[in-house]
Structure 1
């Protein structure tokens, strides 16, 4: 059975929105390599509509600057959960019907990890509510954003088990959790 890994970048005050404003100062080779390890351990990406549309706009043009990482982002199969999107363009399959049921079917297929890309949103809540995520990887950035969208705002209390901690020299912590 495949494993779903949800990866998110988050500030010390829990903000996940507009990461371009606070991720860049800490994005170094060490973080890039750690992030690449996660991407290359997956053989499929899982998106909500908004994150998919954002990535589909930029990643196809980034192979020159991001090398193998961008090639992987562009070539790996993608699955997109959306009620409004009618077609995909970036090596992606639209999830139609009951998202939790369809994602559970994806997990049953042979293959490697499925990396859930994008932070928060309805898809993250659905996956959490149906206990479909096997690991949560939170890249905790040494930043206080002060305002913005917070991951899992409004969700019921959920307890997690700490599985691993990666400490990067930039101060970023990679915190891996599983559900209790």
Structure 2
């Protein structure tokens, strides 16, 4: 399976608590819910298309708990997001959870890189990560994410957890898709292609 990451970020790279004020207040973050004013049909179409390609989910503990507290209450089988989240396999990376009660959930508590590499070898289309910043950063350090869907919203917060932080693995990407929604959200799909190249104008041309 191909591992894909879909995440919502601000112009200054913040990914924390996009969907609600109380979604994730860790670190004293008080600006949760910053995505909601920009939610529109274009965003919905893209997200529906992403969920149409999924065969399993890979989630960090915090994202899993946020999802598990909401999506089981959405019982419409025609909902493209809820129907897949509630029924497809979910792998939860956690060192604190003993079990995961949400339907079809399995806890991964051992060697994350080894276990995720094993999951990648399974047949299927996409093993999708949504949010799950800490998990994503771990996998990025080991080149385990095959595709990034970044929905960039026209807002700057100045604080909060960021997807790309100092100390990350230097990586070059190829842009494979791009669009803009009615509310001004820029949607970019990237594929990692290796390490960056470094040149100097006027000397390497």
Q: Tell me the TM-score normalized by structure 2.
A: 0.81
**1:92 is matched with which residue: 105, 120, 131?**
105
Residues 5-27 of structure 1: per-residue CA shift (max 9 Å, x gap): 01110011111112122111111
Aligned twin of 1:6: 5
1:133 paired residue among 134, 140, 145 = 145
Q: 1:117 to 1:5 in 2, by over 3 A?
A: same
1:166 and 2:165 are equivalent in the alignment: no
Which residue pairs with 2:17 in the alignment? 18
Runs of 4+ in 1 over 4 A off after TM superposition: none
> Structure 2: how far apart are the matches of 1:132 and 1:80?
16
CA distance in structure 2 between the partners assigned to 1:135 and 1:33 by the alignment: 19
Q: If the length of structure 1 is used for normalisation, what is the TM-score? A: 0.91
Decide which structure has greater helix share.
1
The 5 Å alignment of 1:66-85 reads 67-85=79-97
- Give a deviation string over 1:111-146, Cα, whole Å, max 9, x none: 11011122411x112211111100011100111123
| 1:62 Cα deviation after fit | 2.5
What is the CA deviation profile of residues 139-164 of structure 1, one whole-angstrom value per residue up to 9, with x for unaligned ones? 00111123211113233333322221
Give the aligned partner of residue 64 of structure 2. 52
Higher relative contact order (CA 8 A, sep 6+): 1
Deviation at 1:67, TM superposition (A): 2.8
Counterparts of 2:174 and 2:144 in 1: how far apart (Å)? 15
Native 8 Å contact 2:41 2:182 kept in 1: no
Structure 1: 5+ residue stretches without partners? none
Query: Matched residue pairs, number?
Result: 178
- How far residue 83 of structure 1 moved from its aligned partner, in angstroms, is 1.1
| Aligned residues of 2:4 and 2:129 also touching (Cα < 8 A) | yes
Is residue 107 of structure 1 aligned with residue 116 of structure 2? no
Q: Which runs of 5+ in 2 are unaligned?
A: 20-32, 194-205
Contact 2:52-2:80 within 8 A present in 1 as well: no
